[in-house]
Amino acid sequence: MGWAIALHGGAGNIPLTLPPERREPEEAALRHCLQMGTAALKAKQPPLDVVELVVRELENNPHFNAGRGSVLTSNGTVEMEACIMDGICKEQGVETIDPSHFITPNNIERLERVKEANRVQIDYTEPIQKEVEKQTPVADGDSQIGTVGCVAVDIQGNLAAATSTGGFVNKMVGRIGDTPIIGAGTYANRFCAVSATGKGEAIMRATVARDVAAIMEYKGLSLKDAADYVIQECAPRGTAGLVAVSATGEVTMPFNTTGMFRACATEDGYSEIGIWPSV
């Protein structure tokens, strides 16, 4: 047991040929956010505060698809969504309480971001088709700069998760994805905290984040086995990745896409930053 933290900057078809100048800023950002989150946990800040401050940092970084740097709707505007959930573990047999906050796209923020959006380079990602999944090879750059998220647990087993996104390129105005939906992109209870990323519609229909916790609870699987099961069996290949921590300080970061920008650290000194599957 001990604290643990994991964060992601999106799962998708990140080509192995991603040039260093595209890769390095993101890796640096992940490292920086991991350090921030780790320092906060060491300073005994509650996981809910930790995930918020880490995701804020990721939102402020224009290399990720959240806050500043959000991808554009079909109208060339930015519409963001985010979610945070607190899975409180109280002692002495008190019932678990999970206050959750659901934030809808905020029109005022949207106006502010439009000005910044004019400075954002348009992502080359293909818009996701409903019926047919097009794996069109992209000429350059990553195929999907993704959603960001963070999960954390402290020594007492208090868990929290947060996810934030600009959605995907050329989405219809008003489109809401999995990110702000409790149980889809974000979930935390007394078993684990989960933040998912990938193709929103697939994550919603598979209730990815909730299912990791449900499988741990109802089938007794470990965090890693539950997360692997959901990623391998419940979401089609190429659609999802997640980061998760358990109440006992374990961490896992599975994905069924080409890559996922991710980082994690645990109290016993383990840490990892990566993009593609670690062989």
Partner 1 sequence: MGGWAIAVHGGAGVDPNLPHERQEEAKQLLTRCLNLGISALRSSLSAIDVVELVVRELESDPLFNSGRGSALTGKGTVEMEASIMDGSGRRCGAVSGLTMVKNPVSLARLVMDKSPHSYLAFSGAEEFGRQQGLEMVDNSYFITEDNVEMLKLAKEANTIMYDYRIPTVGLDTCSAVVESPLQMNGLPISVYAPETVGCVVVDSEGRCAAATSTGGLMNKMTGRIGDSPLIGAGTYACDLCGVSCTGEGEAIIRGTLSRDVAAVMEYKGLGLQEAVDYVIQERLDEGKAGLIAVSRNGEVAYGFNCVGMFRGCATENGFMEVGIWE
Binding site for substrate, by residue number, is 175-178, 197-200
Q: Which of 38, 73, 147, 163 is catalytic?
A: 147
For residue 31, give every residue at least 6 positions away whose Cβ sits within 8 Å of its Cβ, in sequence order, or none.
263, 273
Which is nearest to 165 in space by CA: 174, 175, 177?
177
Which is nearest to 203 in space by CA: 263, 128, 274?
128
Angle at which helix 20-42 crosses helix 47-60, to 10 degrees, equals 160
Nearest distance, CB of residue 218 and partner 1, angstroms? 4
Which is nearest to 253 in space by CA: 66, 83, 10, 89?
10
Length of the chain: 279
Task: Decide whether 29 or 202 has the Cβ nearer to partner 1.
Answer: 202
Task: Decide whether 35 or 135 has the Cβ nearer to partner 1.
Answer: 135
Task: Decide whether 67 or 105 has the Cβ nearer to partner 1.
Answer: 105
Task: Decide whether 66 or 194 has the Cβ nearer to partner 1.
Answer: 194
Residue 250 DSSP symbol: -
Binding site for partner 1 (CB under 8 A): 85, 95-100, 102, 104-105, 127-130, 171-177, 181-184, 187, 200-201, 204-207, 210-211, 214-215, 218-219
Task: Decide whether 42 or 219 has the Cβ nearer to partner 1.
Answer: 219
Residue 255, beta-bridge partner list: 241
Nearest distance, CB of residue 41 and partner 1, angstroms? 24
Kindly report the backbone phi and psi dihedral angles of residue 134, in degrees, each rounded to the nearest multiple of 5, phi listed first: -90, 120
Contact predicate 216/222, CB 8 Å: yes
Helix boundaries (H) for 5-80: 20-42, 47-60
Kindly report the backbone phi and psi dihedral angles of residue 191, in degrees, each rounded to the nearest multiple of 5, phi listed first: -95, -45
Residue 196, beta-bridge partner list: 242
Tell me whether residue 147 is one of the annotated catalytic residues: yes
Nearest distance, CB of residue 125 and partner 1, angstroms? 13
Nearest distance, CB of residue 165 and partner 1, angstroms? 13
Nearest distance, CB of residue 129 and partner 1, angstroms? 6
Residues with catalytic function: 147
